[in-house]
Amino acid sequence: MSMLLENQKILVTGGSRGIGRSISLRLAEEGASIIVNYSKSNSDAKNLLDILNTDYNQNHLIIKADVSKEKDIVLLMQKIESYYGNLDVIINNAGSTNFIEHSDLKKHDSTIFDDMYKVHFRGSFLCIKHSEDLLRKSLQPSIVNIASIASITAIGSNIAYCAMKAAVVNMTKSLARALAPEVRVNAISPGLVDTDLTKNWKDYRNKQINLTPLGSLTTPEDIANEVFHLIISPNITGQNIILDGGRTLN
């Protein structure tokens, strides 16, 4: 165990399941104290906290907050400040989606667009906005936004999802300029990720695998490893790292 992140306090939004869970565990392995944010999966969050506290000696925390609601984000940051005093890293991972064929415009109603906007784009921005003072108390603060290759290809679970992930990548570049040189901001754009959710999309999933040169989906562990790499790389900012097994080559 390298412990390269020893004494760092890291917030992982949507951190209790899937990609967020893998990120939380990977960064804890490196010595970080993890703040696991969740909105609904209370039992998953408590289970993960038990694992973190049992396997790693750092001072971990779980906090319930819906990042689609600004008041929840404000309270989240207040709790972090009162408990830790500062924040070193934010991983904006919280998100949700549902599969809608792009050609089915009738199903792309205003609710879909509002939901994607509130969580993926606005939620990420507000987490950064309301944590800026906490981050600036850190020696090497950084932010990693989890986007998607849908931001580039416009191929994804629905049109609104693709658009909001593109907005996240654009925002990443804007904030990297705005917050430099103190705070680094990067994004990761995975291909289709091998999670419990995507296992239900059998036809779409198989199509993406067949179109991927490496013949496999991105895993949550792949993403967690790249998050770690970005945190410990002091000369990288404003970048969107493509993590897709070559899917964007086709």
- Specify the pLDDT at position 182: 97
- Specify the pLDDT at position 1: 59
**Residue 156, both tokens:** 């994804």
- Specify the pLDDT at position 57: 82
As a whole number, mean pLDDT of residues 192-219 equals 90
**Residue 62, both tokens:** 């779980």
State pLDDT tens for residues 10-26: 999 999 999 999 999 99
Mean pLDDT of the chain: 96
CB 42 within 8 A of CB 119: no
CA distances from 22 to 44, 119, 189 (A): 13, 20, 16
pTM comes to 0.96
State pLDDT tens for residues 108-129: 999 999 999 999 999 999 999 9
State pLDDT tens for residues 53-90: 999 988 999 999 999 999 999 999 999 999 999 999 99
Which CATH number applies to 9-242?
A: 3.40.50.720
State pLDDT tens for residues 224-240: 999 999 999 999 999 99
As a whole number, mean pLDDT of residues 147-175 equals 97
Domain boundaries, given as residue ranges, for the chain: 9-242
Q: How far apart are CA 75 and CA 79, in angstroms?
A: 6
Give residue for tokens 């392995």.
29
CA distances from 102 to 59, 105, 162, 230 (A): 44, 7, 10, 33
